[in-house]
C-alpha cells in the first residue's frame, strides 16, 4: 500500500518578530516540525498569542523562517517563485475590506491569476474551472452579485472558492469560522474535509474552536506561547490535564462513543467553589 | 508641391512644423526689419512701417491715443477703457491671459505689452508664433517718458512723442513749482487693505508721491509691494492715507474706521484720507493728473489762485 | 453586466473612446475665439495648403492644435495616475496630487520664476525636477518594512504636500514684490502655453510609457485591491507592483503638472466615471481612464477658451465647476456608497 503523499513538511521552523513594540521580549515561535499528508486535515489549536497565525504565515510563505525549511510536495518553499507557490498553496483567511465593486465571479477568477500570462485575460478554461469551484462551494447562483452584498457565510464560501480556483495541493485556513453561524461553520468544514479526501489536498486549519477541530480534524497540533506542546492523533492532543494547563480553565474531555472524536466541555462553576483542586503546573515539553 | 503636401498629410505634425517654418520665413522676407531691443532687454525684429498695432494694456493704449496713432490701433485688451473711443476697438481678452488666436487674427505688425500687467509667458508665446512684441517697463515717471519716446520712435512719430513729453514735463514742472519748499506730507499709500500692502521706493507710485510733495512712510522698503503689519503703520503714524479708488473701497474704509486698532491713527482722526481714481495705478500720460490731484489735496494752500 | 472581461471588450471600448476623442479633437480645432469654417479646417488637416489664410493656418496649427494635443496628453496622464493611485493607496478618494507631486512641481516653478527672470523655458524643467525630488522623498518616507505601505505612503504624501504648500505660501509672500503673476496662473492650471510640437512628441512618449507600465500591471492591481496578503498568496509580486505603479503614476503626474500646472478633479473623477460606465477591472480601467481623461480635459479646455471668448477662463476653474457637482452625484450612487462603505 502506498503511503499517503506528504503535502507539507515543516522541518524545525522558527521565527522571531523583529519588534516587540515595548512589550519586553519579542515574540518567538520556537523551532518545530510537523507534516501534513494528502487527504488529511490538520488542526492547529492553542490560546490567543500562541503562534498559530505565525505558523500559518511561515507555511504559506508570507514569512521566511529563521531556521529550518518548509517543503511542499518535497520541494523547499524558498525555491518556488511567487507564481509557482500560488499554484501549490492557497489560503482562506479573513477578508480584507473591498473598496471597489467586484462580482463574485470576477473575485473567484482572481484565483486563476497564476495561470494567466501577464497582460492576459481569462480563458474559457479558467472560467470553467471557476464555475466548477463555485458549484462545489455552492456559490454559483450569485456569480454576478457583488461580493460586498453577500452575507458572512456566503463570503467565506466565496473565499474558499477563490482558493480552490488556484488548484492548490495545500489548503490553509485561518480561523475561517470566526463570524459564521453554526450551520455555516459546519457546512464549510464538511465541505473542506470532503474536498481534502476527494482532491487529495492537505489541509491545515487554524482555529481556536476546540470542538470544531475535534470534530473535523484528523490530527492536531497544540501550541502554547510559541512552542509546539503536543502533536499527533486527537486523543493525544485532547488530553484533559494538558488542555487545562494550556487554557488555564477547568474542563472535561468526553469521547463520543461511536465516532471516537473528542469533545471539550467547560464548567459553569469553578471547581474550587465545589471543593476541587485548581489546575496544576505545566510539564516541560518532550 | 501639392503631392508633397498629400504625402506629408499623415504626419500632420510635420506639416505643422513645415508651415510654421514657412510662415516665419515669409514674415521675415516680406519687408526689411529693424532689430531693436525692448525695455526688458529682449531683441525684437520690427517692421520699418508699423501699420497695425495691438495693445495689451490700458496704459499702453492711453499712450498710443496721446501720440495720435490710434488709427493704427487694431486691437486692445478688455480693460482699455480710456479714452472712451478705445472701448470700440476689437478686444483680445484679459491683460493677464489674452487670446493668442484673436491677436494673430488681427494680423498685427507690432504688439505692445507692459511689465506692469502682462505675463512673460504671453510675450514668449506670441514670439513663437512669429508676432513682434515690444515690451515697455515704466518703473517710474521718467520711465514713462522713456516708454513714450521709445514707442513714438518705433511708430515713426518721434515729434509727437517729443511734444507729448514736453507737455507732460511742463505739467509736472508746474506742480513741482507749487509744492517746492513746502514741508513734505507724510503719507502711507495703501495699495491693498487685506492683506495690508503699500508701495516700495522703486515703484512709480512712490515717484508720484514724491512729485506731489509727499514722503512715503514706506520709502525705505526695497521690494515693490511690501506688506505691513498694523503695528508698523501705527508706529510710523502717517499724516495722510492715500488709496486708489475701487468699487469695494467705500465699504472697506467704513469697516476700517470701525476697527479699534485703527482708531489711534492720526490720519483717520483728522479724516486725512485721500482717495485717488485709478489713474494713479496706470503708468501712462494721465499720471500727471494723479500727481496734481494728490498735490492739491496735500497742499491746498499752494494751489490757491491769487 | 459584470461579465468576464475579455480582450475583445477592451479593444472595442478603447476603439469607441478613441473615435470619440478624434471627433472631439477635430471639433476643438475648429472652434475658438476666431471663427474659422469647419470645412476649411478639415481640408487643411488633410493636407490642403490653400484652404486657410496665413493667419488662420497659424491659429489652427500653431495655437489650437498644440493646445488640444497638450490637453489630451495631460488628461490621459492625470486619468491614469488617478486610477493608479486609487489602487496603490486602496482609497477611492485618492487623486494624483495627494502624494505631493504637484506641490513639488509648484515649488520648482516658483523658484525658477524667482531666480531666472528672463528665461521661461526653465520653468517646466524646474517644475519637473521639483516633482521628481518630491517623488523620491515621499518614496523613502512611505516605506515600511522595505516596501511601500499604502497607509504610510498616504501619510507621508499628505504631510509632504502640506509642507510644500506652506513653503510655497511663504515664498510667495517673501517674493511678493516680484512678478509672480505667472505663478498664480500656473497654480490654477494653465493650458495657454503649450510647448512646441516637437517637445510635445517627447512628452507624449514619456506619458505613453508611464501609461503602458501601469497597464501591464493592471491585473496585479485588481488583485492588490483585494488586499495585500491575499494578492501575495495569489501569486502577485506585490512589492514590485507597488513600486512600479508609484513611479509611473507619479512621473506621469509630474510631467503633466510641469507643463500645465495643477488642474484639479480630472485625476480624481475620471477613474470613477470609467468605473461607472465600464466596470472596475483595471485591464479596462487603465486604457479607458487615459482616453476618457483626454476627452474630459479636451472638452474642459475648449470650453475654457470659447465660453466667454476672447477672455480665457483658467481650465482648473472649469474642471472644478463641473467636477465638484459631478463628484457629489457619484458619491450618492448606491454602488459607490456600497463599495466605499463595505467593511462588514
> What are the tens digits of pLDDT across the range A141-154?
989 899 988 888 88
Q: Do C176 and B227 make contact, defined as CB atoms within 8 angstroms? A: yes
Residue A283 has pLDDT above 70, yes or no: no
In this complex, do C58 and B129 lie within 8 Å of one another by their Cβ atoms? yes
> Are B121 and C182 an interchain contact pair (Cβ–Cβ within 8 Å)?
yes
d(CA A91, CA A150): 20
Q: Locate the domains of chain A by residue range.
A: 83-168
Report the alpha-carbon distance of residue A98 to residue A113 in Å, rounded: 18
Q: Give pLDDT tens digits for A100-129.
A: 888 999 999 999 999 998 678 888 899 999
A100–C275 CB contact, under 8 Å: yes
Using 50, 70 and 90 to split pLDDT, how confident is the model at A39? Answer: very high
For residue B16, what pLDDT is reported? 59
d(CA A187, CA A174): 16
pLDDT at C72 over 70: yes
Q: Establish if B174 touches chain C: CB-CB under 8 angstroms.
A: no
Q: Is the ipTM of this complex over 0.90?
A: no
Decide: A and C in contact? Rule: 3+ Cβ pairs under 8 Å: yes
CB A264 within 8 A of CB A253: yes
Is C340 touching A (CB cutoff 8 A)? yes
Residue of C nearest to B226 (CA): C177
Are the beta carbons of C182 and B1 separated by less than 8 Å? no
Q: Do A60 and C233 touch (CB under 8 A)?
A: yes
- For residue C141, pLDDT over 70 is answered with yes
- Interface check for B227 against chain C (CB to CB < 8 A): the answer is yes
pLDDT value, residue C172: 80
Q: Per-residue pLDDT tens for C89-99?
A: 999 889 999 99
Please tell us whether the domain made up of A83-168 is placed in CATH 1.10.3720.10: no
Residues of B in contact with C205 (CB under 8 A): none
Chain B residues closer than 8 Å to C183 by CB? none
Strands B53-55 and B33-37: unpaired
What are the residue ranges in chain B where pLDDT is below 50?
Answer: 1, 3, 5, 8-10, 28-29, 306
Compare all CA atoms of chain B with the CA of C181 and give the residue at the minimum distance: B119
Touch between B and C (at least 3 CB pairs under 8 Å): yes
Q: Which chain C residues touch B17 with a CB distance below 8 Å?
A: 197-198
Condensed to tens digits (0 to 9), the pLDDT of residues C245-263 reads: 999 999 999 999 999 988 9
Residue of A nearest to C342 (CA): A148
Flag whether pLDDT at C340 surpasses 60: no
Contacts of B98 in chain C (CB under 8 A): 310, 312
Cell of A126: 479558467
Name the minimum distance, in Å, from the CA of C309 to any CA of chain A: 41
Instruction: Identify from C9, C12, C149, C235 which residue to disrupt to test chain A contact, counting A C-beta atoms within 10 A and taking the largest count.
Output: C235
What is the C-alpha separation between C98 and C257, in angstroms, rounded? 13
Nearest by Cα to A148 from C278, C279, C341: C341
Chain A residue whose CA is closest to C215: A119
Residues 17-46 of chain C whose Cβ lies under 8 A from any Cβ of chain B = 32-34, 45-46
All partners of chain B with 3 or more CB pairs under 8 angstroms: C
Cis peptide before C274 (omega within 30 of 0): no
The number of distinct structural domains making up chain C is 1
Query: Which residues in chain C are closer than 8 Å to A93, comparing Cβ atoms?
Result: 229-230
Cα C314 to Cα C185: distance, rounded to the nearest angstrom: 8
Q: Which domain holds residue C223?
A: 7-341
The CATH code of the domain that includes C181 is 1.10.3470.10
Q: What is the distance in angstroms between the Cα of C281 and the nearest Cα belonging to chain A?
A: 8
* CA dist., res. A128 & res. A85, Å (int): 22
Summarize the confidence of residues C271-295 as an average pLDDT. 94
C61 contacts in B (CB within 8 Å)? 15-16, 19-20
Q: Map residue A195 onto helix, strand or coil.
A: helix
How many angstroms separate the CA atoms of C281 and A238, rounded?
48
Residue C1 lies in a domain: no
Question: What letter would DSSP give residue B75?
Answer: E
Residue C174 cell numbers, joined: 517673501
Distances (CA, A) of A212 to A45, A178, A215: 10, 11, 5
| Banded model confidence at residue C333, pLDDT cuts 50, 70, 90 | confident
Residues of chain C found within 8 Å of residue B20, distances taken between Cβ atoms: 58, 61-62
CA-based nearest residue in chain A for residue C212: A119
Closest residue, chain A, to C234 (C-alpha): A86
Is C216 near chain A, with CB under 8 Å? yes
DSSP letter assigned to residue C58:
I
Size of the B and C interface in Cβ pairs below 8 Å: 125
Report pLDDT for B228. Answer: 86
How close C108 comes to chain A (CA, Å)? 35
CATH class of B182-303: alpha beta
For residue B131, the model assigns a pLDDT of: 94
Mean per-residue pLDDT for C181-200? 79
pLDDT of residue C341: 40
* Interchain pair C4, A127: CB under 8 A: yes
Task: Tell whether the model's pLDDT for residue A212 goes beyond 80.
Answer: yes
Report CB contact under 8 Å: B98, C62.
Answer: no
pLDDT at position C282 over 90: yes
CA distances from C286 to A172, A263, C215 (A): 33, 54, 6
Does residue B149 belong to the interface with chain C, where contact is any CB pair within 8 Å? no
Residue C32 falls inside a structural domain: yes
pLDDT value at residue C69: 96
In a domain, C97, yes or no: yes
Confidence of residue A267 (pLDDT cuts 50, 70, 90): confident
Whether the pLDDT of residue C205 is over 70: the answer is: yes
The answer to whether residue C2 is domain-embedded is no
**Closest-CA distance of chain B to residue C178, Å:** 7
Q: Does C22 touch chain A (CB under 8 A)?
A: no
CA distance B71 to B73: 5
Q: What is the reported pTM?
A: 0.86
Distance from chain centroid for Cα B25: 33
CA distance A57 to A44: 13
Q: Where in chain B is the domain with CATH 3.40.50.1980?
A: 31-164, 182-303
What cell numbers appear for A258 in the block? 461511536
Selecting from B26, B102, B200 the residue whose C-beta is nearest the C-beta of C310 gives: B102
Out of A100, A114, A121, the one facing C6 most closely (by C-beta) is: A121
Nearest CA among C253, C251, C246 for reference residue C221 = C246
Quick one: pLDDT at residue C38?
87
- C7 vs A: CB within 8 A: yes
Closest-CA distance of chain B to residue C254, Å:
20
Q: Which of A166, A163, A165 is nearest to A174 (CA)?
A: A163
Q: How far is CA C322 from the centre of its chain?
A: 16
CATH of domain B31-164: 3.40.50.1980
Using the predicted structure, report yes or no on whether residue A96 has a pLDDT greater than 70: yes
Q: Is the pLDDT of residue A277 over 70?
A: no
Amino acid at each position: 500500500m502506498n503511503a499517503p503523499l506528504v503535502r507539507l513538511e515543516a522541518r524545525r521552523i522558527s521565527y522571531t518578530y523583529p519588534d516587540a513594540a515595548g512589550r519586553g521580549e519579542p515574540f518567538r515561535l520556537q523551532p518545530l516540525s510537523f507534516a501534513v499528508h494528502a487527504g488529511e486535515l490538520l488542526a492547529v489549536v492553542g490560546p490567543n498569542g500562541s503562534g498559530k497565525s505565525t505558523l500559518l504565515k511561515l507555511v504559506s510563505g508570507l514569512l521566511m523562517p529563521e531556521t529550518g525549511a518548509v517543503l511542499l510536495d518535497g520541494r523547499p518553499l524558498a525555491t518556488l517563485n511567487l507564481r509557482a507557490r500560488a499554484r501549490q498553496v492557497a489560503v482562506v483567511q479573513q477578508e480584507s475590506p473591498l473598496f471597489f465593486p467586484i462580482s463574485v465571479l470576477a473575485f473567484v477568477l482572481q484565483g486563476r491569476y497564476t495561470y494567466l500570462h501577464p497582460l492576459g485575460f481569462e480563458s474559457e478554461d479558467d472560467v470553467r474551472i471557476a464555475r466548477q469551484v463555485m458549484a462545489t462551494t455552492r456559490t454559483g447562483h450569485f456569480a454576478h452579485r457583488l461580493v460586498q452584498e453577500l452575507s458572512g457565510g456566503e463570503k467565506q464560501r466565496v473565499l474558499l472558492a477563490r482558493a480552490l480556483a488556484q488548484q492548490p495541493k495545500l489548503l490553509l485556513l485561518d480561523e475561517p469560522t470566526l463570524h459564521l453561524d453554526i450551520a455555516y461553520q459546519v457546512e464549510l468544514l464538511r465541505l473542506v474535509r470532503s474536498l481534502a479526501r476527494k482532491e487529495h489536498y492537505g489541509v491545515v486549519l487554524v482555529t481556536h474552536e476546540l470542538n470544531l477541530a475535534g470534530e473535523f480534524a484528523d490530527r492536531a497540533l497544540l501550541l502554547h506561547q510559541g512552542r509546539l506542546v503536543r502533536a499527533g492523533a486527537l486523543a493525544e492532543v485532547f488530553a484533559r490535564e494538558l488542555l487545562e494547563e494550556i487554557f488555564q480553565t477547568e474542563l472535561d474531555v468526553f469521547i463520543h462513543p461511536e465516532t471516537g472524536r473528542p469533545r471539550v466541555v467547560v464548567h459553569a462553576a469553578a471547581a474550587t467553589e465545589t471543593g476541587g483542586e485548581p489546575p496544576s503546573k505545566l510539564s516541560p515539553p518532550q | 508641391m501639392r503631392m508633397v503636401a498629400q504625402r506629408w498629410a499623415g504626419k500632420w505634425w510635420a506639416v505643422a512644423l513645415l508651415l510654421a517654418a514657412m510662415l516665419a520665413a515669409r514674415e521675415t522676407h516680406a519687408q526689411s526689419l529693424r532689430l531693436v531691443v525692448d525695455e526688458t532687454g529682449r531683441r525684437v525684429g520690427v517692421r520699418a512701417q508699423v501699420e497695425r498695432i495691438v495693445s495689451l494694456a490700458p496704459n499702453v493704449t492711453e499712450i498710443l491715443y496721446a501720440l495720435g496713432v490710434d488709427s493704427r490701433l487694431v486691437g486692445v485688451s478688455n480693460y482699455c477703457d480710456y479714452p472712451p473711443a478705445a472701448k470700440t476697438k476689437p478686444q483680445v481678452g484679459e491683460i493677464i491671459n489674452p487670446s493668442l488666436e484673436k491677436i494673430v487674427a488681427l494680423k498685427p505688425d507690432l504688439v505692445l505689452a507692459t511689465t506692469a500687467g502682462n505675463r512673460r509667458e504671453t510675450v514668449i508665446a506670441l514670439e513663437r508664433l512669429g508676432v513682434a512684441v515690444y515690451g515697455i517697463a515704466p518703473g517710474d515717471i521718467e520711465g514713462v517718458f522713456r516708454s513714450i519716446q521709445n514707442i513714438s520712435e518705433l511708430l515713426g512719430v518721434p515729434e509727437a512723442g517729443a511734444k507729448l513729453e514736453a507737455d507732460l514735463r511742463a505739467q509736472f514742472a508746474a506742480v513741482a513749482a507749487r509744492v517746492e519748499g513746502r514741508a513734505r506730507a507724510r503719507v502711507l499709500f495703501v495699495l491693498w487693505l487685506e492683506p495690508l500692502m503699500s508701495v516700495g521706493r522703486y515703484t512709480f507710485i512712490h515717484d508720484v508721491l514724491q512729485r506731489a510733495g509727499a514722503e512715503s512712510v514706506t520709502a525705505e522698503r526695497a521690494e515693490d509691494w511690501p506688506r505691513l503689519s498694523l503695528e508698523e503703520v501705527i508706529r510710523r503714524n502717517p499724516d495722510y492715507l492715500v488709496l486708489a479708488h475701487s468699487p469695494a473701497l467705500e465699504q472697506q474704509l467704513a469697516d476700517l474706521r470701525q476697527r479699534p486698532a485703527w482708531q489711534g491713527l492720526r490720519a483717520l482722526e483728522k479724516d486725512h484720507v485721500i482717495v485717488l481714481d485709478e489713474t494713479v495705478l496706470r503708468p501712462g500720460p494721465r499720471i500727471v493728473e494723479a500727481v496734481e490731484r494728490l498735490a492739491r489735496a496735500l497742499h491746498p494752500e499752494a494751489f490757491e489762485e491769487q | 453586466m459584470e461579465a468576464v472581461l475579455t480582450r475583445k471588450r477592451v479593444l472595442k471600448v478603447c476603439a469607441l473612446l478613441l473615435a470619440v476623442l478624434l471627433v472631439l479633437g477635430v471639433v476643438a480645432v475648429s472652434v475658438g475665439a476666431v471663427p474659422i469654417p469647419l470645412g476649411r479646417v478639415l481640408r487643411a488637416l488633410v493636407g490642403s495648403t490653400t484652404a486657410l489664410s496665413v493667419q488662420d493656418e497659424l491659429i489652427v496649427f500653431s495655437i489650437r492644435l498644440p493646445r488640444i494635443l497638450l490637453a489630451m496628453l495631460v488628461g490621459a496622464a492625470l486619468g491614469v495616475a488617478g486610477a493608479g493611485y486609487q489602487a496603490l493607496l486602496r482609497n477611492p478618494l485618492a487623486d494624483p496630487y495627494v502624494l505631493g507631486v504637484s506641490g513639488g512641481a509648484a515649488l520648482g516653478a516658483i523658484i525658477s520664476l524667482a531666480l531666472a527672470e528672463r528665461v521661461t523655458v526653465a520653468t517646466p524643467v524646474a517644475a519637473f525636477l521639483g516633482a521628481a525630488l518630491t517623488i523620491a522623498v515621499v518614496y523613502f518616507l512611505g516605506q515600511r518594512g522595505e516596501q511601500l505601505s499604502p497607509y504610510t505612503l498616504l501619510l507621508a504624501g499628505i504631510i509632504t504636500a502640506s509642507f510644500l504648500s506652506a513653503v510655497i505660501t511663504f515664498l510667495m509672500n517673501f517674493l511678493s514684490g516680484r512678478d509672480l503673476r505667472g505663478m498664480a496662473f500656473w497654480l490654477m492650471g494653465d493650458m495657454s502655453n503649450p510647448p512646441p510640437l516637437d517637445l510635445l512628441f517627447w512628452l507624449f512618449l514619456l506619458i505613453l510609457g508611464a501609461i503602458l507600465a501601469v497597464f501591464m500591471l493592471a491585473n496585479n492591481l485588481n488583485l492588490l485591491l483585494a488586499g495585500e496578503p491575499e494578492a501575495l498568496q495569489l501569486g502577485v509580486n506585490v512589492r514590485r507592483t507597488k513600486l512600479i505603479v508609484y513611479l509611473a503614476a507619479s512621473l506621469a503626474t509630474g510631467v503633466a503638472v510641469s507643463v500645465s500646472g495643477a488642474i484639479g478633479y480630472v485625476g480624481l473623477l475620471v477613474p470613477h466615471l470609467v468605473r461607472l460606465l465600464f466596470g472596475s477591472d483595471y485591464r479596462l480601467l487603465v486604457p479607458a481612464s487615459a482616453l476618457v481623461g483626454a476627452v474630459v480635459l479636451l472638452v474642459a479646455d475648449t470650453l475654457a477658451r470659447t465660453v466667454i471668448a476672447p477672455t480665457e477662463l483658467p481650465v482648473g476653474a472649469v474642471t472644478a465647476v463641473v467636477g465638484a457637482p459631478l463628484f457629489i452625484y457619484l458619491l450618492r450612487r448606491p454602488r459607490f456608497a456600497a463599495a466605499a462603505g463595505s467593511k462588514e
